[in-house]
């Protein structure tokens, strides 16, 4: 039976105003000259970006609930229909290090949804991870912190701040696919 949660208001809502306030904090840290406060602010910025990306990914993964697979019209569309709901609840954010956050999906069907399934000489992809990143960057474009994001992407020769994205392979860790003898559910 699929899990259903009542719709409530979020406890914390991330908007472009949140990013504007983070930019004000970062400007203050630069004026004061405190590298510790600046690093803390950049870590908070990247964390907020990762959770914004998570929200967009879950929104595009929250299609119609169809455990009996009767709604064939919603099979290859975005938002992705929820058969087992593992894909929807599989989106997670974790911290890899100071200033580095990762968005990933640990469900088995994530690989097939992201990279496609071959059906009648066509590969049908629904790149939720890529589209959610684009929506995150579009939201960042409306805030004042946008120049910092692009400066960090293009000028940093080393990996100080940022977030990574990963989709779990169907082999649960290997990139070669399912291991011999293992069957997908």
99, 36 contact by CB (below 8 A) = no
Rounded to whole angstroms, the Cα distance separating 33 from 85 reads 47
| Number of other CB atoms surrounding residue 141 within 10 Å | 12
For residue 127, count CB atoms less than 10 angstroms from its CB and return exposed for 0-12, middle for 13-18, buried for 19 or more. Answer: middle
User: Which is it for strands 100-105 and 162-167: parallel, antiparallel or unpaired?
Assistant: parallel
Q: How confident is the model at residue 7 (pLDDT cuts 50, 70, 90)?
A: low
Q: How confident is the model at residue 84 (pLDDT cuts 50, 70, 90)?
A: confident
- pTM, 2 dp: 0.74
Between residues 25 and 78, which one has the greater pLDDT? 25
Rounded to whole angstroms, the Cα distance separating 108 from 185 reads 9
H-helix segments, 15-162: 16-32, 35-60, 86-89, 109-115, 128-141, 146-155
Determine the pLDDT at residue 9: 56
Rounded to whole angstroms, the Cα distance separating 160 from 3 reads 39
- Closest C-alpha to 86, from 102, 67, 103: 67
Determine the pLDDT at residue 182: 43
For residue 173, count CB atoms less than 10 angstroms from its CB and return exposed for 0-12, middle for 13-18, buried for 19 or more. Answer: exposed
């Amino acid at each position: 039976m699929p899990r259903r949660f009542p719709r409530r208001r979020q406890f914390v809502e991330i908007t472009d105003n949140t990013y504007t306030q983070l930019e004000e904090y970062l400007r203050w840290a630069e004026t004061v000259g405190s590298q510790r406060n600046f690093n803390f602010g950049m870590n908070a910025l990247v964390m907020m970006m990762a959770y914004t990306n998570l929200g967009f990914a879950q929104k595009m993964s929250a299609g119609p609930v169809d455990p009996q697979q009767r709604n064939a019209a919603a099979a290859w569309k975005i938002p992705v229909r929820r058969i087992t709901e593992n894909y929807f609840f599989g989106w997670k954010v974790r911290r890899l290090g100071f200033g580095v956050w990762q968005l990933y999906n640990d469900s088995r069907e994530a690989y097939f949804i992201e990279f496609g399934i071959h059906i009648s000489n066509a590969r049908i992809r629904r790149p939720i991870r890529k589209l959610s990143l684009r929506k995150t960057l579009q939201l960042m474009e409306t805030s004042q912190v946008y120049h910092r994001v692009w400066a960090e992407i293009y000028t940093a020769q080393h990996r100080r701040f940022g977030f990574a994205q990963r989709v779990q392979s169907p082999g649960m860790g290997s990139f070669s696919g399912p291991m011999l003898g293992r069957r997908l559910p």
